[in-house]
Amino acid sequence: MSEEKMTEEQENRLKERLIEQILEREWMFFQMVHHTEGRAECQNNPDEFVVMRKSQWETMPINILRSYLEDLILAKHKEINIVGEKYARMMEFSAPDEYAQIKDFITPISQEKKDLVNEIVEIYLKWEEDMIEKYPKLASRARPLHSKDDTPNYVSIETYLKGELSSYSVKTLKLYFEYIQESLNQGINLAKKNLENIAKMKGYESLEDVEKTLV
């Protein structure tokens, strides 16, 4: 059945199924990530993992979800842990000395992919700046915005985004870039939608509700 002929209810069910499959595969890859200091605490917290990842995927349309699910399936066939490589690429900014030792073991990415990542990040960071301005208490408890403020154990939004997006295929990135531009043109802030999803999953009515509860 084509997406054009689906009812809203059918689209919602399809989207939910795609997200469930994505989360299942991402969690599998996440469990295989090895840290130099041993297993990370977040690897033992599937509930928080689902909240943080599902909130993001719910902001995306079906065509991007399908494309990224294909990325995950292909990565498994190739025995590449793209979730592990996501975190490894973050080390280029947060732990450059360690990154220099492992970079040759990471799947290389094309200049086309780097350019797409940088264009998306530039737009997304402006959305994040808007969130910092509107919700300063909430922002004070989040990641720092820019890579210059990275530490080996705590990376910025910018660095996380670059690592995350670099794990997508060029096809998925192109679809996402188109969606980013459409959202921008329509005055939609996807960073806000992501945070709203997190807030609702944690039992809040709105971001304003979260902001009011913070000291």
What pLDDT is stored for residue 197 in this prediction? 97
Nearest to 143 by CA among 159, 120, 130, 127: 159
Q: How confident is the model at residue 45 (pLDDT cuts 50, 70, 90)?
A: confident
What pLDDT is stored for residue 34 in this prediction? 76
Alpha-carbon torsion, ordered 34, 147, 191, 111, to 10 deg: -80
Exposed / middle / buried, residue 158 (Cβ in 10 Å: 0-12, 13-18, 19+)? buried
What pLDDT is stored for residue 42 in this prediction? 74
Query: What percent of the chain lies above the pLDDT cut of 70?
Result: 95
What is the value of pTM for the model shown?
A: 0.91
What range does the domain containing 157 cover? 3-213
What residue type is assigned to position 15 of the chain?
K
Across all residues in the chain, what is the average pLDDT?
Answer: 93
Q: For residue 25, is pLDDT > 60?
A: yes
Which position has the higher pLDDT, 64 or 215? 64
What pLDDT is stored for residue 2 in this prediction? 47
Domain count for the chain, please give it. 1
Q: For residue 1, is pLDDT > 60?
A: no
Alpha-carbon torsion, ordered 156, 100, 112, 167, to 10 deg: -60
What pLDDT is stored for residue 38 in this prediction? 58
